[in-house]
Amino acid sequence: MAYTNLRVHLIWSTKDRKPSIAEAFQEDIYAYIGGILRKRKHSLLAAGGVEDHIHLLVSMHPAQSISDCVRDLKSNSSVWVHEHFPKRKTFQWQTKYGAFSVSESSVESVKTYISNQKEHHKNLTFKEEFTALLRKHGIQFDPRYVFE
């Protein structure tokens, strides 16, 4: 048996950062994503965002890689949006994402951060937020390619 505590803060945007995640179905998409995660033995600890991006705090099961998990979440949730919201047939996620490890001592602060997204983004764009998180986590990047 493996003993793990793998907490990951996942972030990604809608395609071209279009404001496609209507407030009317945000909670529904978070619940659907939670179901996808449970089927793969992960746990959704927090979900939030605004119209152009999503934040998830996930307790990962070690049997699936982060990249496979994100691929499954994006593809399945896109199909779900297309099936349940016919007016959103063009809904897409961007191909890139951010994944940041979260220590147990930081779980509550990350949950708070995620739950305060609407307030947070009154003064900050997704691009500003994402590049600040990359810097905070010591991830080197070329700004020309982060948002393509």
What pLDDT score was predicted for residue 145? 87
What is the CA 94 to chain-centroid distance, rounded? 11
> Mean pLDDT for the chain?
94
Question: CB 96: neighbour CB atoms within 10 A?
Answer: 14
Residue 28 has pLDDT above 90, yes or no: yes
What pLDDT score was predicted for residue 21? 93
What pLDDT score was predicted for residue 22? 87
Sheet containing 98-102: give its strands across.
43-50, 53-60, 6-13, 98-102
Give the model confidence (pLDDT) of 77-102 as tens digits: 999 999 988 888 889 999 999 999 99
- Give the whole-angstrom CA distance, residue 50 versus residue 61: 27
- Give the whole-angstrom CA distance, residue 67 versus residue 115: 24
Amino acid at 53: H
Question: CB 81: neighbour CB atoms within 10 A?
Answer: 22
Residue 7 has pLDDT above 80, yes or no: yes
What pLDDT score was predicted for residue 2? 80
pTM assigned to the model:
0.94
Measured CA angle at 12 (ends 78, 72), to 5 deg: 45
Q: What is the mean pLDDT of residues 46-65?
A: 97
What is the CA 77 to chain-centroid distance, rounded? 12
* Per-residue exposure over 5-33, b if at least 16 CB sit within 10 Å of its own CB, e if not: eebbbbbbbbeebeebbeeebbeebbebb
- What is the band of 51 on the pLDDT scale with cuts at 50, 70, 90? very high
Q: What is the mean pLDDT of residues 30-53?
A: 97
Domain-by-domain residue ranges, the chain?
6-146
Look up the CATH number of domain 6-146. Answer: 3.30.70.1290
